[in-house]
Every structure is written in C-alpha cells, then in structure tokens.
C-alpha cells in the first residue's frame, strides 16, 4: 500500500476530491494534523539535540530506569 498526501486549499477542493474518490469507490482516510504541532515537535527535537550535544543532557542505564 502507498500513501498519497494531498494538501487541500479550501472546502470546495475537498468536496470535489472526496466526490471523485467516492465515484471510483476508493478507500481513503482524512488526517487533520496541524502543521503547527509538527513544527513544535521539530523545534523540541532540535532543542533536545542541542542540549545533548552541549553536554546538558544526561541518561541512565536501562537497568537503573525501572
């Protein structure tokens, strides 16, 4: 199975696309992920990486994390 991501610009485009997919009897799902959330996650990851590289992060052996 492959995934095709389509960035819909407005409600009319959404209605037309969904009608087309329905007419072909395609299965689909709609994900409403916010780009803001993805950007926030990327910033957090970059911040944690910078802290790690600067020696500001610590870790524990798996045996001690229980």
Domain residue limits at 20: 11-57
The two structure tokens encoding residue 58:
């610590």
Q: Is 45 within a domain?
A: yes
Q: What is the pLDDT of residue 11?
A: 93
Q: What is the pLDDT of residue 42?
A: 87
Alpha-carbon separation of residue 21 from 6, 8, 39 (angstroms): 13, 14, 30
Q: Is 5 within a domain?
A: no
Q: What is the pLDDT of residue 31?
A: 79
- pLDDT digit string (tens) for 11-64? 999 999 999 999 999 998 887 766 667 788 889 999 999 998 998 877 778 888
Q: What is the pLDDT of residue 7?
A: 87
Q: What is the pLDDT of residue 18?
A: 95
| Domains held by the chain: number | 1
What percentage of the chain's residues is helix, strand, coil (to nearest 5)? 55, 0, 45
Q: What is the pLDDT of residue 34?
A: 66
Contact 57, 51 (CB under 8 A): yes
Q: Is 51 within a domain?
A: yes
């Amino acid at each position: 199975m492959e995934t095709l991501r389509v960035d819909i610009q407005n409600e009319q485009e959404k209605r037309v696309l969904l009608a087309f997919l329905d007419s072909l009897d395609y299965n689909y799902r709609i994900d409403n992920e916010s780009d803001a959330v993805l950007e926030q996650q990327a910033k957090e990851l970059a911040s944690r990486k910078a802290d790690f590289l600067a020696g500001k992060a610590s870790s524990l052996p798996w045996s001690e994390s229980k």
